[in-house]
Structure 1
Amino acid sequence: MSAIVSSPATPSQQPAEIAAKAHHNKHGKGFINPWPSYQEQSGPQIMGKILKMRVTGQWKDPDTTPPTVPIVKPHFLPTRQTEKLRATWLGHACYYVEFPGGLRVLFDPVFTERCSPFTKHMGLDDTHVTEMDWWEEKQITLSPSSQPGSTDQIQQDISATIGCLPCQHTSARTAFDKAHTLWASWSITSGDRKIWFGGDTGYRTVPSLPAEEFDYGEKYSDLPHCPAFAQIGELRGPFDLGLIPIGAYDPRSIMSPMHANPYDSVNIFVDTKCKKALGIHWGTWVLTSEEVMEPPKVLKKALKWKGVEKDRFETCDIGESREID
């Protein structure tokens, strides 16, 4: 199999203000979140808040005693022939998606015992990497291998358009490279199917509140939310499937700038104009303090709160596949 990467003949729409590159750090290296929905917190600030919560007894460690998330053996299609979009959850934010027409996409693979800066090795070299900025697109064409004896299943060219889109997060591998690389969400279109991968993102920054207080109540209705998702829906949607984060959100005063809770997730789902969605970024590693199985339970409440049918945004067992018409 060979791959050719090029610019699309007909580029998709972009926001008018993107030319200003507001997300590029004009006063240093790297990037920023250019919206009031994001409030910067340094590593020492976050650690200080966590330490204070532990000392005062406010921090809770989730119970990881089995059973937690059910795990089933994944089954992938034996050939590239399928009439439906098919998505298999492999844990955390990793999904393997099989498109009609033969395209196969593996999102965010992390196959290690723990998720940390010291064990996540992608094994890629620069010759197989294409860098993109927000709202940029690339066309990729996969062609059958001409090598003798090849077992390549591709019988004809497969084309896809990959779009790099905004999200609200940050990046770092060490204490000295924060925000040096750009975080993003992604769209992939192949044939007549289109999906949006939200990856790891926040939606709004929530202040410290009493534990029983609902941060989507009228009292907090003026908290700004990230406008990028509505732009994605308006300019690149609708999407047949959204892969949207629902976990690693507690405590909200620390995690909300970068991690969506299910109420945020449902708003993101509506903003991006996804027809259906599956939850990601939960149930695999203990990253925060909510209970392991809490996100899907809260998701059901959030869907009812938003007036969205519960079968439009669901979760899977690890290894389970869902087919999307």
Structure 2
Amino acid sequence: MNACTQSAAVSEDVPRHHTAGGFQNLYGSAQQHKGLWPYLKMRYFDERFPELPSAFPFAAIEPDHELISQPQHDLQLTWIGHASALIQIGGRNILADPVFGERASPLPVAGPKRYSKPGLSLAQLPPIHYVVISHNHYDHLERETVEQLGDSVQWLVPLGLKAWFNDLGVTRVVELDWWQQAALGGVQFTLTPTQHWSRRGFGDTNATLWGSWVVEAGGRKVWFGGDTGYAQPLFQEIGRRLGPFDLALIPIGGYGPRWFMQEKHADPDDAVRIHQDLGARYSIGIHWGTFILTSEPVEEPPQLLAQALARYGVPQDRFLVLQPGQTWALRTQTTAQAQPADKETGGVR
């Protein structure tokens, strides 16, 4: 079993994001989550949600199984769909928020249904060493996947979630607070803040923590955003403490309507600002193109992202969207003709 070292808390005082009954955000209103009934009113009376698309231009493609099974680069990312991704770094295979089921719901026959199949199935994955979880919502934490992977992998979760895993018989779980770190088998994991919320049942709102992950190995550094609203001081602090990053996985969907979602879900404009705040060399858009969870048209996030990149003067090839199953790699060029500034390039396969 890999050795694990966990850092001490930043201060002996109770952190500001801790409350008597759980956790809170550091920015925005005191309660980002407006509650179930306001959501249902918005969903079914105030806003018109899109229909399931008959054809989706970003549908899953056949993955490059050879490249995934035998990585040729020191950093590879394969988008599975929504917030789920396979990160291959430093000779380790890391899953982020793996969700493979048909619905992001506690019910097998109701709730948001997947309209784009996973880019990789569980059976197609290479041997997984670690799994990072951003928070406990059903579109990020799937019980069936946890039960299937079980103790064959090492799980890393935000504070308060370890007991839920233990109840399922899963014991290889490292639980961290914001800014705490775990060193495992040559990979360093840091849980960093986001602006979001948590709930899995009817009486556990914000009882467990939410967050993002920094993964460092082999001289490379990745930030996985999970799900978050925008708070500039938060992301600037992450960039200042731990950046710059070779790659950031940044949410670009789940933002409509803005009057309801703004504080907890980034839109493409927010995503570009997060990219800049973090000091990311490359970014890939996640948290879109899989489930209808909010009111924006399903094809809109990449369109608005392209507009935001132009507005902020960020080259289009520095913040990409992928199709499920598509692999992005940070390539190291070794040709004598390569100039120093061009020795590393990011590209898709």
Shared topology, TM-score over 0.5? yes
> How far 1:307 moved relative to its partner?
1.2
**Cα distance in structure 2, aligned partners of 1:177 and 1:37:** 19
Asked if 1:169 corresponds to 2:169, the answer is no
Q: CA-atom RMSD, angstroms?
A: 2.1
Which of residues 66, 84, 103 in structure 2 aligns to 1:94? 84
The one-letter code sitting in structure 1 at the alignment partner of 2:293 is L
Q: Quote the residue 1:261 is aligned against.
A: 267
Change (3 A) 1:291 1:257: same
Q: Quote the residue 2:182 is aligned against.
A: 138
Instruction: Give me the TM-score of the superposition, normalised by structure 2.
Output: 0.73
Change (3 A) 1:81 1:309: closer
Which of residues 50, 59, 74 in structure 2 aligns to 1:70? 59
Q: Quote the residue 2:324 is aligned against.
A: 318
> How far 1:69 moved relative to its partner?
1.9
Q: Quote the residue 1:232 is aligned against.
A: 238
> How far 1:256 moved relative to its partner?
1.4
Which of residues 104, 107, 110 in structure 1 aligns to 2:93? 104
More strand, by proportion: 2
Identity of aligned residues (%): 37
> How far 1:297 moved relative to its partner?
0.7
Which of residues 218, 232, 249 in structure 2 aligns to 1:191? 218
**Cα distance in structure 2, aligned partners of 1:277 and 1:31:** 28
Q: Secondary structure at the match of 1:110?
A: coil
Q: Quote the residue 1:21 is aligned against.
A: 15
Q: Superposed, which structure 2 residues align to 1:235-250 within 5 Å? A: 235-250=241-256
Flag structure 2 segments of 5+ consecutive residues without an equivalent: 109-141, 151-168, 332-349
Q: Which moved more, 1:79-88 or 1:304-313?
A: 79-88
**Cα distance in structure 2, aligned partners of 1:320 and 1:266:** 21
Change (3 A) 1:312 1:89: same
Flag structure 1 segments of 5+ consecutive residues without an equivalent: 142-158, 204-224
- CA offsets 1:26-59 (integer angstroms, 9 cap, x no match): xx31111121266531222222333441xxxx52
On the 8 A contact 1:135/1:163 being kept in 2, the answer is yes
On the 8 A contact 1:168/1:226 being kept in 2, the answer is no
Which of residues 197, 200, 208 in structure 2 aligns to 1:181? 208
Q: Secondary structure at the match of 2:304?
A: helix
Structure with higher RCO (Cα < 8 A, 6+ apart): 1
Change (3 A) 1:17 1:45: farther
Change (3 A) 1:38 1:185: farther
Q: Quote the residue 1:43 is aligned against.
A: 36
> How far 1:293 moved relative to its partner?
1.1
- CA offsets 1:142-187 (integer angstroms, 9 cap, x no match): xxxxxxxxxxxxxxxxx00000000011111111111111001000
On the 8 A contact 1:238/1:275 being kept in 2, the answer is yes
Q: Quote the residue 2:285 is aligned against.
A: 279
**Cα distance in structure 2, aligned partners of 1:30 and 1:131:** 15
On the 8 A contact 1:80/1:103 being kept in 2, the answer is no
On the 8 A contact 1:62/1:290 being kept in 2, the answer is no
Instruction: Give me the TM-score of the superposition, normalised by structure 1.
Output: 0.79
Aligned residues: 274
Which of residues 42, 50, 60 in structure 2 aligns to 1:61? 50
Which of residues 24, 29, 43 in structure 2 aligns to 1:32? 24
Q: Quote the residue 1:202 is aligned against.
A: 229
Change (3 A) 1:294 1:244: same
**Cα distance in structure 2, aligned partners of 1:160 and 1:232:** 18
**Cα distance in structure 2, aligned partners of 1:237 and 1:85:** 16
